[in-house]
């Protein structure tokens, strides 16, 4: 048996030496060498197939990425063109002369600085109000026991299934009766009432993972609900708070339907609505086509930068919430 083991080991080490090994009694070394060659050929075939599959997969992914990013690159290039070059009969991908006049005109003549400030007012209010109100509601569902808690939470989650178009008319009538139309109040004040069912759900799942012993220790020291919420829960929930805040920024920065319905005064327009109205006005659209492209590029920069800067923290926040759930 020891002689047989040594013979097997040596036969599997090298193809060139297989035929020169002295086989043990009753042991076919040539057959083992043939089996080793067949195994090596099979391994090479599997390796080639794996490489081919990766090449095909990455080729498809690159093709899809190019297809999706092409309109954005086209818009960036056109933002550096003149309006006449854009409206010309010849379609050009790259500008003949690179110029930043569209960006200068956007802020100096087209009043886009005011539209940006109007948008920032709505965005800043929401990125503060949405995480605060959602976390406050989530804390009540996660850490405070009261009668009917599960029923109330089920009712809150059920609102996710209601389409926004169904509630748009009742909300408009309500805000009109309150005298809030033609102002930013319908775009800001509702954020103080929960911040959205999905945000409440995410934060509640995160808070459930916080140890109850910490809450009990603070309770023994005389801390009330609000004190425990502000001094214990909020510091521990920073990852999920950041995730909700970034989500609120993205949804409000690019919000078009809400400002379109409630804002009538041109001095209160947000960026999305201002670009829309300028685009449907024939004279403005033809004379300032490059400004429209520059405005689109400008609108896309803050969300992209925010995602790139906080990508790791956003992923960590949602993963920690899922693990704690």
* Rounded-to-integer distance, Cα 153 and Cα 138, Å: 9
pTM score of the predicted model: 0.75
Same domain, 116 and 44: no
Neighbours of 239 (CB within 10 A): 17
Residues 74, 184: one domain? no
Q: Is residue 92 part of a domain?
A: no
**Domain-located, residue 94:** no
Domain shared by 120 and 261, yes or no: yes
* The token pair that represents 277 in the structure block: 């109205």
Predicted local distance difference test score (pLDDT) of residue 5: 43
Claim to verify: residue 192 and residue 138 sit in the same structural domain: yes
One domain for residues 132 and 223? yes
Handedness of CA 92, 93, 98, 102 (dihedral sign): positive
Give the position of tokens 């109330």: 152
- Consecutive 10-residue averages of pLDDT for the chain (325 residues): 42 43 51 68 84 93 93 89 78 83 83 90 94 93 88 90 86 91 90 90 88 85 87 88 90 90 88 86 68 88 85 63 48
What is the pLDDT at residue 310?
77
In this prediction, residue 319 carries a pLDDT of: 56
Q: Is residue 93 assigned to a domain?
A: no
Q: Tell me if 90 is assigned to some domain.
A: no
CATH number for the domain harbouring residue 295:
1.10.3720.10
Looking at residue 35, its pLDDT comes to 67
What's the pLDDT score for residue 315?
Answer: 65
Do residues 223 and 129 share a domain? yes
Distances, alpha carbon 132 to alpha carbons 228, 249, 267, 281, 306, in Å: 14, 14, 29, 40, 20
What pLDDT score was predicted for residue 106? 84
pLDDT score, position 200 = 92
Last residue of a domain, one of 79, 96, 121: 79
Asked whether residue 54 falls in the same domain as residue 123, the answer is: no
Name which of 224, 220, 238 is nearest 313 in CA terms.
Answer: 238
Quote the pLDDT of residue 181: 87
Alpha helices in 112-192 (DSSP H): 112-143, 149-158, 164-178, 185-188
Contact between residue 242 and residue 310 where contact means Cβ atoms under 8 Å apart: yes
- Among 64, 79, 94, the domain boundary falls at 79
| Domain end position, chosen among 20, 45, 79 | 79
Residue 303 gets the label, from left (phi > 0), alpha (psi -120 to 50) or beta, of alpha
Residue identified by tokens 């509702």 is 190
110 and 180 co-located in one domain: yes
Which domain covers residue 48, as residue numbers?
2-79
- Do 151 and 52 lie in one domain? The reply is no
**155 in any annotated domain:** yes
Same domain for 209 and 307, yes or no, is yes
Q: Residue 99 domain-assigned?
A: no
Q: How many domains does the chain have?
A: 2
If asked whether residues 31 and 175 sit together in one domain, one would say no
Do 127 and 272 sit in the same domain of this protein? Answer: yes
- What pLDDT does 14 receive? 43
């Amino acid at each position: 048996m020891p002689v047989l083991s040594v013979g097997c080991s040596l036969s599997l080490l090298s193809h060139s030496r297989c035929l020169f090994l002295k086989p043990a009694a009753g042991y076919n070394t040539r057959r083992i060498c043939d089996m080793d060659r067949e195994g090596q050929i099979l391994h090479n075939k599997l390796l080639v197939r794996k490489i081919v599959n990766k090449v095909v997969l990455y080729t498809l992914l690159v093709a899809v990425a190019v297809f999706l990013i092409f309109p954005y690159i086209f818009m960036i290039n056109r933002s550096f063109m003149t309006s006449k070059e854009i409206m010309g009969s010849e379609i050009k991908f790259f500008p003949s002369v690179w110029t930043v006049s569209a960006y200068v005109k956007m802020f100096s003549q087209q009043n886009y600085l005011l539209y940006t400030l109007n948008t920032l007012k709505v965005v800043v209010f929401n990125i503060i109000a949405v995480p605060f109100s959602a976390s406050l509601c989530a804390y009540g569902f996660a850490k405070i026991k009261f009668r009917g808690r599960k029923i109330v939470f089920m009712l809150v989650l059920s609102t996710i299934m209601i389409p926004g178009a169904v509630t748009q008319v009742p909300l408009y009538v309500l805000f009109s009766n309150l005298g809030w139309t033609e102002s930013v109040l319908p775009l800001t004040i509702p954020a103080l009432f929960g911040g959205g069912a999905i945000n409440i759900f995410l934060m509640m799942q995160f808070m459930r993972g916080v140890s109850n012993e910490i809450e009990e220790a603070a309770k023994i020291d005389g801390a009330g609900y609000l004190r425990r919420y502000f001094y214990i829960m909020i510091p521990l929930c920073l990852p999920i708070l950041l995730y909700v805040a970034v989500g609120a920024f993205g949804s409000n920065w690019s919000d078009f339907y809400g400002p379109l319905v409630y804002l009538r005064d041109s001095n209160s327009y947000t960026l999305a609505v201002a670009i829309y109205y300028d685009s449907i006005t024939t004279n403005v659209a033809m004379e300032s086509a490059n400004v429209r492209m520059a405005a689109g590029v400008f609108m896309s920069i803050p969300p992209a930068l925010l995602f790139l800067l906080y990508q790791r923290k956003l992923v960590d926040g949602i993963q920690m919430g899922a693990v704690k759930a």
